[in-house]
A and B are shown apart, each in its own frame.
Chain A
């Protein structure tokens, strides 16, 4: 084969291979960031979560598994947060208010998990909860005390927490929905509270 022909052939091969790698690496040119990728993957295959031990704002110890059979909305916070977590509190409150009252607590619950267990003791969790009307039953604010358990939970959810230069944290913020089977099945943007609540209502 002449060099020119070979060149064209191999170029075509390299181009298709490169395109395939891009297609594969971006879930068919849809997910260019890790955050989108996480959401696409969850939709495709709901993820099993580790059964971690939590402590809520009343000091009550419980397990993530206790919620099986219910739909559970989860967000991740730290109570010293002055920016996003504040609005997260408002958004969770808004979601709670959009769910029919008879389902609250029975078929649907909310859980805000702090990834800052050293600072967020039950007293601080309670203060945060009271600011948004979290009652400790329908909506609990909780921490995972065990560091390894917390990390495994964050990994399963795909949450990356990095310290910022002000002594706080930066983290990817989203609304998470855990299905009745205990699997993470939906992740949406925090400004999509209404569609999120509609999804929940449709599943009730």
Chain B
């Protein structure tokens, strides 16, 4: 992805911005937020991906100086953990639908507090650091999905109870598939694996 993007960074940034705005249009929001599954498993991941791509469009040198500004990899990872967990709260989902400010907060925090800082931190994370981020994500997804499946009550006032159960199943399935994909990259060490060598930056070490 980065290879394709870096040929025309300006154009890519423009396309990314356009896609971001497209997601924010009432039509896209209504459709993506009409079901709990689409809201949690399509719209929110897309917002994170926008942050990831945005960070990758930033030149390596600038990524490094940004990372130093932010105090290294740890603060970035912690911010991403907090922000991503917050939007998994049923209450936050409801709020995004009923309170415009919560919706704005969601659109800003998922790209810029989850996707963007994760990319900055990623190159500095060791194998174990990356493993921590991944497994934390898988387990959060699986546990939350399981809770949604077995919850005796409707956790979101804005969604039907069977929608909640569907979302729960999708989350459990997604976490299992992602886990095996990640395990595969660990064992084989392809392009996306955690042992990808550091390609950019002057190679400073961070705390």
Q: Is B72 part of the contact surface with A, judged by Cβ < 8 Å?
A: yes
Residues of A within 8 A of B81 (CB): 18
Q: Bits for A155-170, please: 1 = Cβ < 8 Å to B, else 0.
A: 0001010101100001
Selected from A6, A18, A31, the residue in CB contact (under 8 A) with B91 is A31
Q: Which residues of A contact B98 (CB under 8 A)?
A: 34, 160
Check A201 for interface membership: any CB of B closer than 8 A.
no
Residue B92 interfacial (CB < 8 Å):
yes
Cα-based distance from A4 to B90 in the complex (angstroms): 36
Chain B residue nearest in CB terms to A173:
B154
B95 contacts partner chain A, Cβ-Cβ < 8 Å: yes
Q: Who on chain A is nearest to B95 by CB?
A: A34
Of chain B, the residue at the smallest CB distance from A161 is B157
Task: Report whether B90 and A34 are in contact in the complex, using a CB–CB cutoff of 8 Å.
Answer: yes
B103 → chain A closest CB, angstroms = 14
Which of A7, A15, A19, A32 sits near B206, CB closer than 8 Å?
A: A7
Q: How far is the CA of A14 from the CA of B71 in the complex (A)?
A: 11
B180 contact set on A, CB distance < 8 A:
none
Distance of A173 from chain B, by nearest CB (Å): 9
Tell me if B195 counts as interface (CB < 8 A to partner A): no
CA distance A137 to B207 in the complex (A): 72
Pick from A3, A22, A33 the residue with the most CB of B within 10 Å: A33
A199 and B80 alpha carbons, distance in the complex (Å): 44
Instruction: Given A11-B71, A170-B160, decide whether A33 and B78 contact each other with a Cβ distance below 8 A.
Output: no
The answer to whether A11 touches B156, judged by C-beta atoms less than 8 angstroms apart, is no
| B74 in contact with A11 (CB, 8 Å) | yes
> Do A3 and B86 touch (CB < 8 A)?
no
For the complex, is A81 an interface residue (Cβ under 8 Å from B)? Answer: no
B70-99: which have CB < 8 Å to A? 70-75, 78-79, 81-83, 85-86, 89-92, 94-95, 98
Inter-chain CA distance A36–B68, complex, in Å, is: 41
Which residues does chain A contribute within 8 Å of B78, judged by CB atoms? 11, 14-15, 18
A162 to B164, CA, bound (A): 14
Report the minimal beta-carbon distance from A30 to chain B, rounded to whole angstroms. Answer: 11
B75 and A10 contacting across the interface, CB-CB below 8 Å? yes
What is the minimal beta-carbon distance from A100 to any residue of chain B, in angstroms? 33
The answer to the question of A152 belonging to the interface, with a C-beta cut-off of 8 Å to chain B, is no
Most buried by A among B75, B81, B94, B158: B75
A selection of 24 A-B contacts at a CB cut-off of 8 Å is: A3-B68, A3-B71, A4-B207, A7-B71, A11-B71, A11-B74, A13-B75, A14-B75, A14-B82, A15-B78, A26-B91, A32-B91, A33-B94, A33-B157, A34-B157, A35-B157, A36-B91, A37-B91, A160-B94, A160-B98, A164-B160, A170-B160, A170-B161, A172-B154
